[in-house]
Homo-oligomer: A and B are copies of this chain.
Amino acid sequence: MIEESMVFWIGGIIFALSSLLFIVLENQNDSRKHLFNSHVFVSFITTISYCIMALGVATVTNQDGNVIYWTRWLFYAASCSILTLDVATISKKSREKKAEVVLFTALTMFCGYLASIILTDYRWIFFGLSTAAYLGMLFSLFKKSNQNGSNTSSIMWFVLVTWSLFPIVWVLAPTGFTIIAVDVTAISYLALDILTKIGFGIYITTRK
């Protein structure tokens, strides 16, 4: 068994480095001048999140003795809202649609936090509310995007497919049915974070 604090420290270092990488990437791409350095913030917020999890502060332990790192979801509320704002901006959504997408993303992650911190079966209510907000976000994002470039929809499909793996890990992990252990959970989320935040960010900031 791998010590999960090691996984979190590695995650912290990876995202600290990707923060620096995006400072370079986001300032050499002229087509992104209409955006704040959003991927720098996504990586920086994720760095903070991983350092807190590495210290093992602010966790709950469920009835099986498994540690649940619920802080992750509060940081996702910030970082993922920035990511969906970026996707909505690239897709040339209206200001109103952007507000909807950001609010739905924040509520998805906030309900994910509640579902993680509550240890009784009632947590599934919040899992349900999180799923409802997630569907609302996807609906706002996919609905009638006015004349977009061709790779816009590929971006949205990438978000749909990769982001939907997070709730699957949540269900398999100690937060759900404890089918996978705490360390495998930590590694799975790290792999998904690298894919959806660094991989996605590099694709977005380097495409022509």
Contact = CB atoms under 8 A, between A and B. Distances in A.
Interface string A123-146: 001100100110010000000000
Contacts of A34: 96
A92 interface: no
B96 A57 contact: no
Interface string A35-47: 1110011001101
Interface residues of A, number: 33
A118 B44 contact: no
Given A51-B126, A118-B55, A118-B57, A107 B37 contact: no
Contacts of A36: 96-97, 99-100, 103
A169 interface: no
Contacts of A186: none
Given A36-B96, A36-B97, A107 B51 contact: no
Contacts of A133: 44
A104 B2 CA distance: 34
Nearest to A126: B51
A144 to B, nearest CB: 12
Query: Top 3 A-B pairs ranked by shortest CB distance?
Result: A36-B99, A36-B96, A36-B100
10 contacts: A33-B96, A36-B99, A36-B100, A44-B129, A44-B132, A45-B107, A48-B111, A48-B126, A51-B125, A52-B114
